């Protein structure tokens, strides 16, 4: 398969398409991004690395970070993690409050905000310095010592984070947050502010395409079974109430963020990251979805 050629062809097609959607201006700093950025990077388990466009420029990874925090927490606490967060698609927007009361404060899955906030709480309970440990974990899985949070974006989100404050306090009232909401939210906003390029994202996710082992040194990050489960959750919950659509159009497990990034994983083959900041109504990158749909159509390969 000539991935380089396919990537370039799809890139040209996507570039030519109308740029619909809107920036995630609800986080004021994200409103300052150039809406016409477009980058893609693909890393394969056979050590091929190909990229195009703005693939080496940093983006705010936002909810993509929820995959890293889940992997770290899963690695640390094992299967008991599923007592605190469920594994069902929510069919609701990422910041929805509606199901929590009926579900007794157990979020439907770890990728909606409610679930990711509970995962942050678990990490805080188990780690002395959760921000440092989280960053070290992402640096380790991506063989990249250069990664940093963006304080400006974290502060910007904190300044308007009323819904996440409501979610966290509500879950606390139902007994599923053990630490102080302020500390939990500070950690949550911080990890969402992590900045990575498409190239760095594709490389960081590659172990999920490789049975849980890093490709560079075969170090086990997660077991095969844990890896399967993370990929299953990305498949069913990675795009909130558009997860079905992504499975239907693209056919790969993946995760989006409101910074306009999307990462998808093809187990046994590759990881791919796309960035286009304008989002559709469900909060997923408009051109990012389009790119991946065209890419799996051209390669004629997906998990289905
Ligand atoms: N930090 C963002 C929020 O909580 C993450 C949302 C997302 O990327 N979908 O609103």
Residue 83 has a CB neighbour count (10 Å cut-off) of 10
Ligand 1: residues with CB < 6 A are 62-63, 94-95, 113, 157, 164, 192, 257-258, 283
pLDDT band at 247 (very low <50, low <70, confident <90, very high): very high
pLDDT mean over 47-74: 98
Residue 304 lies in a domain: no
Specify the CATH number for the domain of residue 172. 3.40.710.10
Instruction: Name the catalytic one among 74, 240, 270, 286.
Output: 240
Would you state the pLDDT for residue 49?
97
C-alpha of residue 40 to centroid of ligand 1, in Å:
21
pLDDT mean over 118-130: 98
Looking at the fold, whether 14 and 90 belong to one and the same domain comes out as no
Cα 76 from chain centroid?
19
Looking at the fold, whether 38 and 186 belong to one and the same domain comes out as no
What does the pLDDT look like over 96-113, one tens digit per residue?
Answer: 999 999 999 999 999 999
Paired residues of 72 in beta bridges: none
Looking at the fold, whether 179 and 293 belong to one and the same domain comes out as no
Alpha-carbon Rg for the chain in angstroms: 18
Task: State percent of the chain over pLDDT 90.
Answer: 99
Would you state the pLDDT for residue 1?
86
Looking at the fold, whether 76 and 188 belong to one and the same domain comes out as yes
What does the pLDDT look like over 131-165, one tens digit per residue?
Answer: 999 999 999 999 999 999 999 999 999 999 999 99
Cα 248 from chain centroid?
19
C-alpha of residue 192 to centroid of ligand 1, in Å:
7
Instruction: Name the catalytic one among 74, 188, 270, 286.
Output: 188
Q: Which of 23, 24, 63, 65 to mutate to test the pocket of ligand 1 (most atoms within 8 A of CB)?
A: 63
Q: Is 188 a catalytic residue?
A: yes
| Number of independent structural domains in the chain | 2
Q: Is 178 a catalytic residue?
A: no
Domain range for 32 is 3-62+197-299
C-alpha of residue 3 to centroid of ligand 1, in Å:
31
Q: Is 162 a catalytic residue?
A: no
Whose CA is closest to 117, among 172, 64, 157?
172
Contact 222, 212 (CB under 8 A): yes
pLDDT mean over 216-225: 97
Q: Which residues contact 237 (CB under 8 A, 6 or more apart)?
A: 87, 88, 89, 90, 108, 109, 110, 111, 112, 243
pTM of the model: 0.98
């Amino acid at each position: 398969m000539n991935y380089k050629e396919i990537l370039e062809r799809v890139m040209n097609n996507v570039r030519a398409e109308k740029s619909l959607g809107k920036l995630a201006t609800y986080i004021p700093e994200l409103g300052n991004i150039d809406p016409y950025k477009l980058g893609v990077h693909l890393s394969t388990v056979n050590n091929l690395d190909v990229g195009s466009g703005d693939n080496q420029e940093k983006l705010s990874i936002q909810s993509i970070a929820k995959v890293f925090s889940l992997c770290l927490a899963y690695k640390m606490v094992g299967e008991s993690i599923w007592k605190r967060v469920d594994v069902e698609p929510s069919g609701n927007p990422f910041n929805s409050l509606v199901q929590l009361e009926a579900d007794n404060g157990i979020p439907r899955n770890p990728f909606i905000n409610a679930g990711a906030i509970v995962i942050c709480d678990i990490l805080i309970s188990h780690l002395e310095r959760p921000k440092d440990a989280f960053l070290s974990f992402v640096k380790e899985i991506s063989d990249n010592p250069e990664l940093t949070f963006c304080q400006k974006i974290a502060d910007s989100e904190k300044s308007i984070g009323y819904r996440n404050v409501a979610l966290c306090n509500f879950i606390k009232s139902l007994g599923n947050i053990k630490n102080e909401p302020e500390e939990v939210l500070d950690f949550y906003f911080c990890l969402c502010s992590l900045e990575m390029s498409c190239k760095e994202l594709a490389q960081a996710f590659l172990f999920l395409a490789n049975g849980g082992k890093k490709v560079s040194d075969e170090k086990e990050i997660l077991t095969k079974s844990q890896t399967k489960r993370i990929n299953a959750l990305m498949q069913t919950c990675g795009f909130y109430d558009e997860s079905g659509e992504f499975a239907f159009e693209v056919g790969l497990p993946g995760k989006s963020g409101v910074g306009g990034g999307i990462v998808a994983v093809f187990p046994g083959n590759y990881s791919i990251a796309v960035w286009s900041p304008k989002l559709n109504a469900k909060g997923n990158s408009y051109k990012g979805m389009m790119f991946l749909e065209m890419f799996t159509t051209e390669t004629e390969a997906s998990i289905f």
